[in-house]
Structure formats: C-alpha cells, structure tokens
Structure 1
Amino acid sequence: MHRRRRTALVLTAAIAAAAPLLTACGNDAHPGAAAVVGGQRITVAQLENRVGEVRDAQRAAVPDQGQYQQVLAQTSSLTRDTLHNMVLDRVIQRAARDEGVSVTRNEVQRLRASLEQQAGGSKGLQTAWLQKYGIAPAHLDENLRLQLEAQKLAARLGTDTTQPAFWKALAKASGKLHIDVNPRYGTWDVQKSSRVDAKTPWVREVTSVSGGGPVTA
C-alpha cells in the first residue's frame, strides 16, 4: 500500500469500524449547535463554513461543470462526514491528552514534507487529501497533527490503530466528553467513537508514524 494512503487511514478506521451500539442523541437543548463535545459547541455555522471550504476547494480543482456535478454526487454525505470528523478530532485529542501524548509542530512539518515528496509536491498532497478524505487545504496540517496523535497514542498503549485497545481508549474519551449530536446529522456511537451511519475510509489506512514518516498499519 502506498505510504501516503496508509498515512491517511488512521482516523478513517475509527469511522469505518462504526456499528450501531450505544448512541448519544442530540436534542433541542443546544439551539444552533451541530454537536456538543465536552461542553463545547460545534455550531451549525462552523460546520457549514468547514463544508464550504471543501466545496470551494473542489470547485477550484474541477473547473468543468459536469465533472464538478459528479464530485458533488460522490460526496453527497460531506456535511455529515465533516461533522463526524470534527467530533472525532476532539475525541482523539482528549484520549491523547489523557495518556500524556503530544505532537510538536516540527513533527507535523516533518510528516508533511515526507508526504509532499511522495505526492509530488504541496499541491499534489493537498489534492490527494481533498479528493480522498474531504480535507480542505487550510486544514491539512490539522489533520496531519491528528494522524500523529492517533499513532503516538496507539504506541503509548502498546498497540496500533487497528486493535481493540486503541478503540477502547477512544471509547473511554468519547464517554467522558458526553457527545451530543444534533439528530439532523445522525447519532454518535460511544463505544465505536463514530457516527452510527458513518464510513470514513481514511482511518484504516494510517497505522503508525515513526521518525516523522508514515508506516503501515
């Protein structure tokens, strides 16, 4: 498997492993919120802005109207998937913090440089992450930081991101955060740390990162 693709898989695995179990249901107690995580609101406006960034990037990358319509059809669940990723980011951050895991800016830069070399440059990497994972260029470093946090968390636990011990840590963090998702966007599976109906291919592809570079899962 190509290294770039493997690196992107860590967080997707979390979503792709989703199955209906225990859900945290949203309600009208938080008007204007797409989700509440750890008492912090992810507002509908924030979600729409994030989705808008992806759509703008997709439109710029695919100037042909017909092809762009195909992209829209292929990413029809973008709003839900984006919210799911925004929630999952916070779950991973909490789990990493609980285990004393941190990531430096230098580590993120090293990983990005490695991936850019594999992708044929910065533009190539941005395009790959946009097309495969729905990550807008402005949030690429953010996503790479999360990838590293997930990998280092798994290493701290003596496992990898495909194993139950890793997902158990995410489920524990998810429970602590009392995630409340607006029903408009689905429900959250606490045990799987995923939106019940979500499918996120990018989590399974990343398994471990060592020395600033991606390693297989």
Structure 2
Amino acid sequence: MHRRRRTALVLTAAIAAAAPLLTACGNDAHPGAAAVVGGQRITVSQLENRVNEVRSAQRAAVPDQAQYEQVVASTSSLTRDTLHNMVLDRVLHRAAQDEGISVTRKEIQRMRAGLEQQAGGAKGLESAWLQKYGIAPARLDDNLRLQLEAQKLASRLGTDTTQPAFWKALSKASGELHVDLNPRYGSWDVQKSSRVDAKTPWVREVSTAGGQPLTA
C-alpha cells in the first residue's frame, strides 16, 4: 500500500512547536489581533468563533452536563491550541506553496473516505477528530488538506515530517510570513524550539493500516 495511504499526519489539539516555526513579538502593534500572519490578522473574534465551534460540537456529543464539564476541563488550553492550529495552517500552506504543492478536493475526499471506512463511518471519524484533536466536524476537511500538504511537502523534500529538512521548510515559511503572536496566547523559546507552556508535539504520524487508525 502506498505510504501516503498508510500514514496520516494528524494535527493535534495540544500543540507545541517542534521546531522554531514562530516568533512572538510581544507588542501591541495589532490591537484586537490574536496573531498576524503574512500581514493578515487572525482576530480575537475569529479565534473565539473557532473555539465556540469546538465547544458546540463537544456539547452536542456529550449531552450529560457533568461529563461535558469534564471535557471542558480536560481541554482547558483549547483557545491557545486553536490559535496555533490556525497559525500553523497558514505557515504550512505557505511552505507548500513555496514548493509548488497543491491539494485537490478529490484528494481530500479520497483521504476522508479511507479514514471514514476505518473509523466506522463519517460520524465515527468526526467524533475521533473532535475528541482526540479538537477539530470540529465543520473543519475536518480543512484539517485533511493540511495533512495532505504536509505529506506532499515531506515527499517533495525527500524526507518525512520528523526530520530537520521538513521543519526547516516550515521555519523558512514562518520567516517569510513574519508571524506575530499575541503573547497572551503563548510564546516560543527559539533556542529550545518549543512552546513554553506545552509539551505535546503538534504533529504525529498515525498508522492507518488496519486496527485502530486514530491512535494518538
């Protein structure tokens, strides 16, 4: 089976930089912005809307109030994690563009169909992505596009997503975009190549060959 079909790159909900992707300027040059990427603002309102999408999906999936409160408590960093999802999406998209990489709708549908089959259907896949990675059902296709871009980028560079060459490409894209992260949502220690308030890698390669394909 083709490696691309064997492996899915999963963007997790608990994100930390595994390479010096972003820099936080720590100033108030962009009031109302959660981040500025490539001169384009990710507003606090946009971030809150994205977080609300996840919370609404979680609430619908867990109708019991006590259980829902447990879910909320276990994902207390959702706002910061969601912002990092949004920023890293743009960084990776830029890195893919730099290499002439694009992803078609048909490719996304093909990946989704394969994952749905292994997850027991569309609802099973949506539930797994929501629970494990904090991805709302409405954003699932966007996340799969991100995964495909990462896979294609690694392949184009003759490496994989765990190797320095891949992260170097993302660091280059980050520099081109002049990422400015509002410090209230976290910061990066460039020397240690990690986020100061998280420990979990933001990408993982997950086997999709039989068994449970969505193991974190």
TM-score class normalised by the smaller sequence = 0.7 to 0.9
Aligned residue pairs, count: 206
Unaligned runs of 5+ in 2: none
Alpha-carbon distance between aligned partners in 2 of 1:86 and 1:33, rounded to the nearest angstrom: 13
| 1:66 paired residue number | 66
Deviation at 1:136, TM superposition (A): 0.3
Residues 1:185 and 2:189 aligned together: no
Alpha-carbon distance between aligned partners in 2 of 1:50 and 1:146, rounded to the nearest angstrom: 17
Alpha-carbon distance between aligned partners in 1 of 2:191 and 2:144, rounded to the nearest angstrom: 24
- Give the conservation status (yes or no) of the 8 Å contact 2:22–2:179: no
What do the CA deviations read for 1:85-144 (whole angstroms, capped 9, x no partner)?
Answer: 100000000000001111100000000000000011100000000000000000000000
Alpha-carbon distance between aligned partners in 1 of 2:187 and 2:6, rounded to the nearest angstrom: 28
- Give the conservation status (yes or no) of the 8 Å contact 1:171–1:192: no
- Give the conservation status (yes or no) of the 8 Å contact 2:22–2:171: no
What do the CA deviations read for 1:120-179 (whole angstroms, capped 9, x no partner)?
Answer: 110000000000000000000000000000000000000000111000100111111111
Alpha-carbon distance between aligned partners in 1 of 2:14 and 2:169, rounded to the nearest angstrom: 12
- Give the conservation status (yes or no) of the 8 Å contact 2:24–2:180: yes
Q: Which has the higher helix share?
A: 1
Alpha-carbon distance between aligned partners in 2 of 1:84 and 1:117, rounded to the nearest angstrom: 29
RMSD: 3.0
| 2:109 paired residue number | 109
Alpha-carbon distance between aligned partners in 1 of 2:191 and 2:103, rounded to the nearest angstrom: 25
- Give the conservation status (yes or no) of the 8 Å contact 1:21–1:189: no
Alignment of 1:76-87 (within 5 A): 76-87=76-87
Unaligned runs of 5+ in 1: 209-213
Counterpart residue identity of residue 85, structure 1:
N
Counterpart residue identity of residue 137, structure 2:
P
Deviation at 1:36, TM superposition (A): 0.2
TM-score using structure 2 length: 0.85
Alpha-carbon distance between aligned partners in 2 of 1:76 and 1:82, rounded to the nearest angstrom: 11
Counterpart residue identity of residue 204, structure 1:
R
Deviation at 1:198, TM superposition (A): 3.7
Deviation at 1:25, TM superposition (A): 2.1
The DSSP-based 3-state class of the residue aligned with 1:24 is coil
Counterpart residue identity of residue 84, structure 2:
H
- Give the conservation status (yes or no) of the 8 Å contact 2:37–2:179: yes
Change beyond 3 A, Cα 1:189–1:177: farther
| 1:118 paired residue number | 118
